[in-house]
Amino acid sequence: MSEKKRDTRPSQRLFTLLAFALAIGALYWAKDVLLPLSLAVLLSFILSPMVMRI
């Protein structure tokens, strides 16, 4: 079996780490908008069958 050698250059590893940190930071700062939005979507799916009966 041949082993695949992973190309893990320090610059590539640093870029991946920075991208991950940026994504986590963006989610942290956007939680004031994303949390109510996700709850509204969830409630709309939960309440949809009751509205269809009326």
Does 19 map to a domain? Answer: no
Token pair listed for 4: 């695949």
Does 1 map to a domain? Answer: no
Does 13 map to a domain? Answer: no
> What pLDDT score was predicted for residue 11?
87
Does 11 map to a domain? Answer: no
Does 9 map to a domain? Answer: no
Q: What is the pLDDT along the chain (54 residues), one digit of tens a residue?
A: 556 666 678 889 999 999 999 999 999 999 999 999 999 999 999 998 888 876
Does 17 map to a domain? Answer: no
Q: For the chain, what is the domain count?
A: 1
The dihedral sign for the CA sequence 6, 10, 15, 20: positive
Does 36 map to a domain? Answer: yes
Token pair listed for 6: 């992973």
Does 46 map to a domain? Answer: yes
Structural domain containing residue 39: 30-54
